[in-house]
Amino acid sequence: MLRLILCACLSLAALPAFADTPYAFPAAAVEDRAALDAAMPILARQLLTDYRDEDRARYLNNRFRLQLVAGQYDEAERSLVEIRTTAPSTGPVPVRPNLIQYELYARAKALQTRDGTSFETAFQRAFTDVVGAMDDPTSALAMRVLNLDPTEGTQERRAVDDALAAQKGKATIERDPALGLSRVYQIEQVYRELRPLLPRLVVQDDQRRYTIQRDIAVRTPEGATVCALLVRQRSAPAKSPTLLNFTIYANPVTLLNEARRSAAHGYVGVGGTSRGKACSPDKPTPYEHDGRDAAALIDWIAAQPWSDGRVGMYGGSYEGFTQWATAKHRPKALKALMPSVTGAPGIDVPMEGGITFGFQYYWPFYVANNRSVDNAPMEDYARWQRMQREWYVSGRSYRDLEKIDGVPNPFYLRWLDHPDYDRYWQDMIPYREEFADLDLKVLTTTGYYDGAQIGALYYLREHYRYRPQAEHYLVIGPYNHISGQRGTVATGDWLRGYKLDPVAQLDIGVLRYQWFDYVFKGAPKPALLADRINYQVMGANVWKHAPSLAAMGERRQRFHFGPAGEGDRYRFLTQSPGHDAYVTQTLDMRDRSDADRILPGGGIVDKVIDTADSLVFVSEPFAEAGEFSGLFSGHLDLAVNKRDFDFNIGLYELSAQGEYFELSRYQSRASYVADLSRRALLSPDRRTQLDFSAGRLTSRRYAAGSRLVAVVSVLRNQQQQINYGSGKPVSDETVADAGEPVRVKWYGASYLEIPLSR
C-alpha cells in the first residue's frame, strides 16, 4: 500500500509553480537525522510562501504535506477537509482520495500542541472521534491505509535516503527537488509515528464491527491444505453471498483489508491462499494447483451455515488468474468473476509470443521462499541487473541464469522446459471448448498500458468465441498494472508523461461492489457497463461502448511497408509498392556493444522513441482527425536467413508538433506466430507469410496532421531470451549459435491493418 501512496503523491505533485531561487539547505542534514528534522520545517515554510498552482487538487495535495512538515497542523487539517469535501472529479465513478491517515495525524498533532497531552493520547482521541463515527464501508476503505505492519517502514526511509543522496556536497536545493524531498520526508515522518499506535486501535475497531476468523485450514480432495481468513459483519443476516479473493500473495494485512471491505458491503469476506502459504504446511508452487484448490475452498464455503450458496471472486494480476483457474473446475457455487489485469500462464506470462521474460526470473523467490511474501529478492535490483548483464555480455545459454545467480530456481527452469503452449500450461486455465461451459457473469478490467492486457483479453476473446451469449464485460482505459486493478485512486491522473482525461478517473474498488451488488442483490447494472466493451478514448475525454472488440473501429486501413523516405525512415503506404519490392534489416546477434546503453524515451508522450537497430515506417499525415480504436493486426511477407527470429512492432502517433504518443505493440517469436502450441521453424531465405492479431488494444483520438509510425525491431536485449535462429531450443542456444548476422527482407506486400473510427 505504501508503494501506491508514494506513486500517487508523486503523480499529484507534478508540475508545481515556484519562484526560481534555490533554497538554503544545510549539508549536515544529508547525514544527520537531527539536522534534517531541524531543517525540514524551515524549508517547508519557505516553499509554502512561494508555492502557486492553477490545478486546485494538486495545489491542496502539495500544500497539506508542506503544512504538516512546517508544523502548521490546524491549517493542514483544513486543507485535507477541503480535499475530502471538494466535488469529485468528472467521471463514471466518483473518485475521492483516501488521506485519512494524514487527517488523523494533523488533528492529533494539533490536539497535542493545544492540550499539552502526549501524542499517543491525542491520536487515540482523534481516531475514536473520526474513525469511530464512520459507517462500515467508509471505515473499511480507511483501514486500507490504517492497517499497517508495525515492523515495516523500509520503503519510506529509502525514499528519503534517495532524495538526500542527490544533495550531498550542496549548500542549496532547487525548487523541484525541495518539493520532492518534503513529500517523502512527510510520508516517512507520519508513518514512523503512526506505526506503533495503529495496530491496537485497528483491532479494537474491527472487534466492534466484525467477527474475524484467521488461519482456517481447509483440506482439499487431493489431501493438500489451503488457508482461509473469514470476516463477517456482526449485524450480518444468517446467510449471505461470499466474495473470495484467492491469492499466492499471503500478506496478512492485505488479505484482511480486502476481506474486511467485502464484509463492510454486506458479503462474507474470505481471503484464501495458495497451498503452502499462510497456515498450509504444503510446499508453495505457483500456478499448478490453484484452480483445484480454490474450487475446493468454494465447495467448503458453500457448505457453511452462513453461506447462501453463492460465491463471487475478484482480484488482480495473479488473483485474476486464480479466478479463471477456478472456473475451469466449475464449482457449483461460483456465480461471478471480476478479474483485473489478468495474467494467462503460457500466453503472456512468463512468456509472450513464445519469448520468455527476464523479469519473471526473480518472482518465484518472492512468492515461494516462505509462507507469506519475501520482499528482499524482489527489491534487490542490483542483483538481477548484474545477473542479466553478465548473461548478456557472456553469451551463455538462457538456462545458465541460475548458475550465474548462484541460487537454485527450479520453477523458472520448469517453465523453460515448456516453451510451447502445451498440456502443462493448458491444464492451468480453461482451454478452448472448456470456455463454452462457463455460465458465469464476468467483468474484466485492464489498461492500455497494462503488461497483462494480453492475458485479460485472451480470456475475454475465448469466452466470447466458445460461448457467444456470455455476459462478459470489459472496462479498459489509459491504465497500467496498478491502476488497471485499483483505478486512478492508486496512481493519480498522470501516467508516464500523459495527463489522463478527466473522465478516465476511475475507482475500481467502488466499481467492484456495484458489480457484485448487480449480480447478487438485484441492484442496477453499473452505468459504465453500457455495452460489452467499454473503453475510454484518450484525448477525447469520453467513454465509448461497443458490442465487440471488432466494432470499436468502423473501418480497417492497411498500411504497407514501403520504400525509403526521409533520412533513415521508410514510408508507410496505403497501397502495396509492388510484389517484389523489399527493405532489408540486418542485426549482428553477437554484438554486445549496447550492454550499457541508456534507452531514449519511455514516456507514453515523448519527444523521442527508441529506434536503435530498427526499421521506422511513417505514414503520410492524416487529413482529418479520427481515432485509433481496437486491435491492430498484420500480414508479414518476409524472408530471413535463419530458421527463426524474435521481433517487435511498436505503434505510435506522431503529432504535427513532433510528439510521439505510444499506442500499442506486438511481440512474438516468428515460429509461434501461427500457433503458440507448436513451434514451426522457418526455411532460411525462403519467402514466408505470417499473419497475426495483436493482443493489446488502444483507443486514441488523433488530430489532423498526425502520422502513424511503426517501429519494427529484431529483438536482442538482456531483458528476455535471445533467439539466435539456429532452430535449437532457444533456452539452450549460446552466442556460438549466432553465425552470420540476421538478415530480414520485409516485402512490400507486408502491411499492418489499423482499426480506425471517426
Per-residue model confidence as pLDDT tens digits over 734-744: 999 999 999 99
Cell numbers 487529413 correspond to 623
**Res 578: pLDDT:** 77
* Domain 553-757: CATH superfamily, name plus number: Galactose-binding domain-like (2.60.120.260)
Q: Give the span between the Cα atoms of 494 and 501, in whole angstroms.
A: 9
pLDDT band per the 50, 70, 90 thresholds, residue 87: low
Q: Which one has a higher pLDDT value, 253 or 91?
A: 253
The burial of 575, by beta-carbon neighbours within 10 Å (0-12 exposed, 13-18 middle, 19 or more buried), is given as exposed
Q: Residue 121: count other Cβ atoms within 10 Å of its Cβ.
A: 13
- Give the pLDDT mean for 576-581: 82
Q: Would you say residue 758 has pLDDT above 90? A: no
**Res 12: pLDDT:** 41
- Give the pLDDT mean for 607-634: 97
pLDDT band per the 50, 70, 90 thresholds, residue 185: very high
**Res 4: pLDDT:** 43
User: In this predicted model, what pLDDT tens digit does every residue of 283-300 receive, in sequence order?
Assistant: 999 999 999 999 999 999
Q: Give the span between the Cα atoms of 408 and 70, in whole angstroms.
A: 50
Q: Give the span between the Cα atoms of 100 and 114, in whole angstroms.
A: 21
Domains 211-347+428-546 and 553-757 share a fold: no
3-state SS, residue 618: strand
- Give the pLDDT mean for 507-511: 95
**Res 327: pLDDT:** 98
Mean pLDDT of the chain: 94
- Give the pLDDT mean for 648-658: 98
pLDDT band per the 50, 70, 90 thresholds, residue 660: very high
* Poorest-pLDDT segment among 146-155, 317-326, 372-381: 146-155
The C-alpha angle 643, 648, 654, rounded to 5 degrees, equals: 150
Helix locations, 239-288, DSSP H:
252-264
Q: Would you say residue 88 has pLDDT above 70? A: no
Class of the domain covering 211-347+428-546: alpha beta
Q: Would you say residue 579 has pLDDT above 70? A: yes
Residue 559's nearest CA partner among 459, 428, 649, 448 is 649
Q: Would you say residue 96 has pLDDT above 80? A: no
Residues whose CB falls within 8 Å of the CB of residue 126, separated by 6 or more in sequence, listed in order: 104, 107, 108, 111
Q: Where are the domains of the chain?
A: 2-196, 211-347+428-546, 355-418, 553-757
Q: Residue 597: count other Cβ atoms within 10 Å of its Cβ.
A: 10
Q: Would you say residue 19 has pLDDT above 80? A: no
Q: Give the span between the Cα atoms of 318 and 558, in whole angstroms.
A: 36
**Res 716: pLDDT:** 97
Q: Would you say residue 556 has pLDDT above 50? A: yes
Asked if 100 and 129 count as a contact pair (C-beta separation under 8 A), the reply is no
**Res 706: pLDDT:** 98
Q: Name the β-bridge partners of 231.
A: 212, 269
**Res 203: pLDDT:** 96
Asked if 554 and 756 count as a contact pair (C-beta separation under 8 A), the reply is yes
**Res 7: pLDDT:** 43
* Poorest-pLDDT segment among 26-30, 45-49, 366-370, 568-572: 568-572
pLDDT band per the 50, 70, 90 thresholds, residue 18: low
Q: Which helix (H) or strand (E) segment is 339 a member of?
A: strand 334-340
Residues whose CB falls within 8 Å of the CB of residue 80, separated by 6 or more in sequence, listed in order: 64, 99, 102, 103, 106
Q: Would you say residue 429 has pLDDT above 90? A: yes
* Poorest-pLDDT segment among 28-42, 262-276, 332-346, 564-578: 564-578
- Give the pLDDT mean for 405-423: 98
**Res 148: pLDDT:** 80
* Poorest-pLDDT segment among 52-56, 455-459, 466-470, 683-687: 52-56
**Res 9: pLDDT:** 45
- Give the pLDDT mean for 149-176: 88
Handedness of CA 154, 64, 487, 204 (dihedral sign): positive
DSSP secondary structure string for all residues of 371-434: SS--HHHHH-HHHHHHHHHHHHHHT--GGGHHHHHTS--HHHHHHHT--SS-HHHHTTS--GGG
Q: Residue 114: count other Cβ atoms within 10 Å of its Cβ.
A: 11
